Structure 1
Amino acid sequence: MDIGLAQWRFLLALLTAALLLFVVMWIAWHKLGERREAERRIAAARVRSGHVPLEIPTVRGGLNPSPDSMPDTLPGWFIQGKGEHAVVDEQPRIRLRYVDPHGRKAECTMQVEHLDLQKRLVTGRGELPGETYRIPLHMITGARIVESGQRFNIDTWVDAVRVARRRRGQI
């Protein structure tokens, strides 16, 4: 097997092209990752400043809330023109997927009764009488709104609840 100079050049050109393609793809992948991370940080900052994203559970509230109703949790620029606007629902009915204390995957539908921000726990009652759940937030793997079936990010919801409570002076 005699490999000539032309074959060596072709092999070298092929390896150079493959290496160049790998470098270009690696740079593009990292740029895309940086952009996604920047978008995630911007969305988190917007939630911390009071924006209520569409994917988290909300209720409707009037522009002139009574003292016993839930207060405004949105900045003034986001208030809708129809006399109502979205307010974070702190007690939604959700379907959670989580890892139980034994390490098994579990699923439940619960009416949230309390979100403890210090202990990072969701406490709620299930569909059956006497069925209660206390689930640490770090054990939750997925959440959906029961009425619509829409997925939502539990961390974003927790941040929105934290902002709403801070605006009401509860934190």
Structure 2
Amino acid sequence: MRAVERVGARPVLVTGADEVATADRLLVPGQGGFAVGAATLAGGVGDALREYIAAGRPYFGICLGMQLLFETSEEAPGAAGLGVFGGAVRRLRGEGGRKVPHMGWNALESAHPLLPSGAWMYFVHSYHCVPTDDSLVAATVDYGEPVCAAIARGNCVATQFHPEKSQRRGEALLRRFLEEVR
């Protein structure tokens, strides 16, 4: 919430399906595991989020807020995500001796206008999204293997990295999303 305030917006905490339906923009942060996140989709919240995104309204997911857009996760077998996009969330393999969880700074490789290629962003995760449609991938990083760092489709943008922890570049991304994506 503080990162959104720092870029000049006034965030409102949304807790129910009715509030999702009336939001101007949604920024869905992520902290915690897939099973806990999937459980929050009950009570109509999941349906409201799917309808919101299907209507082309502005959605920005961060970390778990990105992972929940997919169908399933190896982290929580049997727990269902939103299924907005085909694909699954898989555990990082730690290729090339890389540590899991992936914690630290990595440079984005991107051709998406909101996500500047070469920008260093901060990551904290053990799982990553593997979309069935490669055109959904808006940015990647090299973590011993190409890892999906962001997705974008229409007004739905989501990042595996944490813009709120990525200093000026992350704040610039949040500001641009809030100002440009309508």
Normalised to the residue count of structure 2, the TM-score between the two structures is 0.23
Whose radius of gyration is greater, 1 or 2?
1
Normalised to the residue count of structure 1, the TM-score between the two structures is 0.24
Q: Which has the higher helix share?
A: 1
